[in-house]
Chains A and B, each alone.
Chain A
Amino acid sequence: MDLKLDHHTKDGIEVVDVEGEIDVYTAPRLRELLIELVNSGHYQLVVNMEKVEFLDSTGLGVLVGGLKRVRAHDGSLDLVCTQERILKIFRITGLTKVFGIHDTVDEAITVRKSEK
């Protein structure tokens, strides 16, 4: 399955919905969207990965790049993911310590707002 991207604003936070496979072929599209959002002033991001079927290190690089970009503006990039197959790659690479990873979009937003 190819990559589908969408985004909407919820409680002042930009939620990016990702569906499909994030790999060396599709990751550039996610990178472009994250850059576009940051350039348009969205510094609080939640990336919803509940419908992601595949993620490799190229995708991780894009997410970490997005995190770096929002942090440059004192922003945040949190993830929503409960799929073990996706969480495994975050654990292998130690990135569970870098990202906030939540079970639901609402939880991610609530936690982020409580930390502001």
Chain B
Amino acid sequence: MSFTPLPVHVRTARLVATAVARRSGVQEALLDEVRLAVGEACSRAVEAHRAHCPTEPVRIELTGTRGRFEVVVTDAAARDDDGALDHESDSSAAPGSGSDNGYPGADGSLDDPEALLPQGLGLAVIAGLADDVKISRTAAGLSIRMSWPSGDYTG
């Protein structure tokens, strides 16, 4: 499915994804992670579209096959500001592991309060939540593929 890149639609997208995950057999204990990871991916895509291509819809695919529930969020906003996580991610890429917590301004050194969190934080959160994450850049934009184990085997 696809939706107009408006922040108000992100909630709907994550609720739909959570509902489909539940029906696909994802354990209840994992549904919060699905909801948050999908929300992060959609938020990131919406922000990218609003900055670069506000008329283009954000695409999200929800599939449950071979014991996995998979979500793919694809944007159409070609840009180069997610370089730090432009690879197959793992949770070790998450900020916060360094002595300064990885946050510019955590020591009070920045003047702009809104510039305190690193770019790509949403991707780092996804990496910390999803059971399996693959982030790839296409000619059009960024594709975030994440999956969790599900009870159904339909493949």
A-side residues, CB < 8 A to B, are 21, 23-25, 54, 56-58, 60-61, 64-69, 71-72, 85, 88-89, 92-95, 97-98
Question: Interface range on chain B: under 10, 10 to 19, 20 to 34, or 35 or more?
Answer: 20 to 34
The answer to whether A56 touches B122, judged by C-beta atoms less than 8 angstroms apart, is yes
Candidates A23, A24, A98; contact of B103 at CB < 8 Å? A98
| B32 interface residue (CB < 8 Å to A) | yes
> Would you list the 5 A-B pairs with minimal beta carbon distance, nearest first?
A94-B96, A92-B128, A68-B113, A25-B7, A65-B113
- The reply to whether A94 and B125 form a contact with Cβ atoms under 8 Å apart is no
5 examples of A-B residue contacts, CB within 8 angstroms: A23-B39, A25-B7, A89-B36, A89-B125, A94-B95
Q: Is the CB of B125 within 8 A of A57?
A: yes
Residue pair B10, A25 in contact (C-beta under 8 Å): yes
Q: How far is the CA of A69 from the CA of B117 in the complex (A)?
A: 14
List, in ascending order, chain B residues with CB within 8 A of A93's CB. 94-96, 121, 124-125, 128
Cβ-defined contact, B121 with A57, below 8 A: yes
Which of these, B7, B102, B122, contacts A94 with CB under 8 Å?
A: B102
Instruction: For the complex, give the distance between the alpha carbons of A57 and B123 in Å.
Output: 9
> For the complex, what is the distance from the CA of A72 to the CA of B114, rounded to whole Å?
13
Q: How far is the CA of A67 from the CA of B122 in the complex (A)?
A: 19
Kindly list chain A residues whose C-beta atoms are within 8 Å of the C-beta of B105: 64, 68
Q: Check A65 against B116 for contact (C-beta < 8 Å).
A: yes
Contact A61 B117 (CB under 8 A): yes
A23–B94 CB distance below 8 A: no
What are the interface flags for B31-54 relative to A under an 8 Å C-beta threshold, 1 for contact and 0 otherwise? 010011001100100110000000
Complex interface: chain B residues within 8 A of A68 (CB)? 105, 108, 110, 113, 116
- B96 contacts A95, CB within 8 Å? yes
A-B contact count (CB 8 A): 89
The interface of chain B, by Cβ under 8 A from chain A, is: 7-8, 10-11, 32, 35-36, 39-40, 43, 46-47, 91, 94-97, 101-103, 105-106, 108, 110, 113-114, 116-117, 121-122, 124-125, 128-129
Set of chain A residues within 8 Å of B122, measured between Cβ atoms: 56-57
Closest approach, in angstroms, between the C-beta of B12 and any C-beta of chain A? 10
A54–B47 alpha-carbon span in the complex (Å): 19
The complex places the Cα of A89 from the Cα of B37 at a distance, in Å, of 10
If the complex has contacts A24-B47, A65-B116, are A94 and B97 also in contact, measured as CB distance less than 8 A?
A: yes
In angstroms, Cα B105 to Cα A98, docked, is 11
Inter-chain contact B121/A61, CB cutoff 8 Å: yes
A36 vs B33: C-alpha distance in the bound complex, in angstroms?
33
**B40 / chain A contacts, CB cutoff of 8 Å:** 56-57
